[in-house]
């Protein structure tokens, strides 16, 4: 039996930078498209219902890609998957850009490709994130997700500038497609292998298939755990501004400020979260965050004045910050099973981004949008109850090779 050969530190540092690039590039590309949706709507003369159906193409592509991405990443690796999906995303973005000038059909095709590429890209870069965590010997996944947030902010700001200087949608998105593809493809070549074939017992341990992962109770529970946080995040993105304006009577600008506060709190939580995870372990940290999230949502929904609403927004964002990245890390605890498990967890978690808007809209028609948001507090409570699922399996905690991983060693408190 041969011993495990870890990559050189310089190689791991390069892979860390490359993983940041993948997360930032994904967020930048997606936000660049989102920033131009109003112009596409106006040029194609779409009413709200038609626009909703057009945007559904992104969700359809993602839903198809997520369950398929596990086998693909397992077979070809996260590096090749990100490279291939970056190229496909570039094609989709360019097609949507072209369609914005000529008609709705190319837009729908382009958005479907964009959603498909983004879904598989998401799984692959999260798998690489778990690999980098393992080689670094410390938590870093949440910082990669903070990188995605930085990318979305940069994409949105650039989009605002492009609108202000009257750059066409087609020109803007075509340039973004070229820049993102070139940058991400260049960086993704520096990913480290997803698993080490020289590891002791590697030849005796088969990789789990995606179908097998769908039958693992721990994997499914982690997926449910991620879904609760994804719901809290997605609903915050979609409804905070509306709830602040309609529920508290603040101006549109101040409603947008509440949304900005939510995003800022999430980004701060993700950037500084690794130190807490390494010191206290995953389960304790996420349980404390669920309590913070519950307090934040209750303040937001039932606060007697906008001051309480803003405080609730910040606590809500902080509480929601680490659930998704911690779930991805938990899915990748065992590197030989990471691709399939992360695919399953992401597939379950992303259902929240689809279910969130219509659920709150349905309840909002009956009890107001502001009051409907209390559902998130209930889901935070559910997350606290099942937070133990993100603890690493006992056999991994007892592995002497994980002595340098505080987040794993502290798992079974």
CATH fold match for the domains 12-195 and 210-409:
yes
Q: How far apart are CA 237 and CA 256, in angstroms?
A: 11
- Per the confidence metrics, is the pTM higher than 0.75? yes
State the fold for domain 12-195: Growth Hormone; Chain: A; (1.20.1250)
- pLDDT for 412: 40
Token pair for residue 78? 């996260």
Going from N- to C-terminal start, the domains of the chain cover 12-195, 210-409
CATH 2.40.30.30 fits 210-409, yes or no: no
- pLDDT for 102: 84
* pLDDT at residue 409 greater than cutoff 70: no
Residues 321, 265: contact at Cβ < 8 Å?
yes
Token pair for residue 274? 């690794």
Tell me, letter by letter, the H, E, C secondary structure of 191-226: CCCCCCCCCCCHHHCCCCCHHHHCCCHHHHHHHHHH
Q: How far apart are CA 370 and CA 173, in angstroms?
A: 35
- Shortest CA distance to 386 belongs to which of 335, 321, 347, 330? 330
- pLDDT for 48: 63
Query: In 10 A of CB 102, how many CB atoms?
Result: 12
For residue range 236-271, what is the model confidence (pLDDT) as tens digits?
877 888 888 889 998 877 887 887 888 888 889 999
Token pair for residue 123? 């799984």
Residues 97, 172: contact at Cβ < 8 Å?
yes
Average pLDDT over residues 214-221: 91
Average pLDDT over residues 63-88: 88
Average pLDDT, the chain: 84
Band (208; pLDDT cuts 50, 70, 90): low
């Amino acid at each position: 039996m041969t011993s495990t050969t870890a990559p050189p530190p310089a190689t791991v540092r390069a892979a860390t930078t490359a993983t940041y690039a993948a997360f930032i590039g994904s967020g930048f590309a997606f936000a660049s498209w989102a920033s131009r949706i109003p112009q596409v709507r106006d040029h194609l003369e779409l009413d709200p219902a038609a626009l909703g159906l057009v945007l559904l193409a992104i969700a359809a592509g993602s839903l198809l890609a997520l369950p398929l991405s596990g086998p693909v990443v397992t077979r070809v690796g996260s590096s090749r998957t990100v490279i291939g999906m970056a190229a496909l995303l570039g094609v989709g973005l360019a097609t949507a850009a072209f369609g914005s000038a000529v008609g709705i059909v190319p837009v729908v095709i382009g958005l479907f490709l964009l959603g498909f590429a983004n879904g598989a890209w998401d799984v692959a870069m999260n798998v690489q994130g778990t690999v980098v965590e393992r080689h670094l010997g410390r938590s870093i996944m949440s910082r990669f997700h903070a990188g995605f947030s930085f990318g979305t902010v940069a994409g949105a700001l650039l989009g605002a500038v492009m609108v202000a200087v009257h750059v066409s949608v087609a020109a803007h998105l075509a340039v973004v497609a070229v820049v993102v593809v070139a940058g991400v493809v260049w960086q993704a070549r520096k990913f480290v292998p997803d698993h080490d074939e020289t590891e002791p017992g590697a030849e005796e341990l088969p990789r789990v298939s995606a179908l097998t992962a769908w039958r693992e109770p721990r994997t499914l529970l982690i997926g449910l755990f991620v879904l609760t946080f994804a719901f809290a995040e997605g609903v915050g993105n979609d409804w905070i501004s509306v709830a602040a304006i309609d529920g508290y009577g603040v101006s549109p600008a101040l409603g947008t400020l509440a949304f900005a506060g939510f995003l800022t709190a999430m980004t701060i939580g993700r950037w500084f979260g690794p130190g807490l995870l390494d010191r206290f372990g995953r389960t304790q940290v996420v349980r404390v965050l669920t309590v913070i999230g519950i307090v934040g949502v209750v303040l937001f929904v039932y606060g007697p004045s906008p001051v309480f609403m803003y405080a609730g927004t910040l606590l809500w964002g902080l509480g929601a910050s680490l659930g998704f990245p911690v779930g991805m890390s938990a899915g990748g605890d065992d590197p030989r099973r990471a691709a399939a498990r992360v695919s399953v967890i992401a597939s379950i978690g992303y259902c929240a981004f689809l279910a969130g808007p219509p659920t709150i809209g349905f309840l909002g028609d009956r009890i107001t949008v502001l009051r409907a948001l209390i559902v998130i507090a209930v889901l935070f409570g559910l997350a606290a109850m099942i937070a133990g699922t993100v603890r690493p399996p006992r056999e991994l905690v007892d592995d002497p090779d994980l002595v340098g991983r505080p987040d794993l060693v502290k798992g079974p408190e």
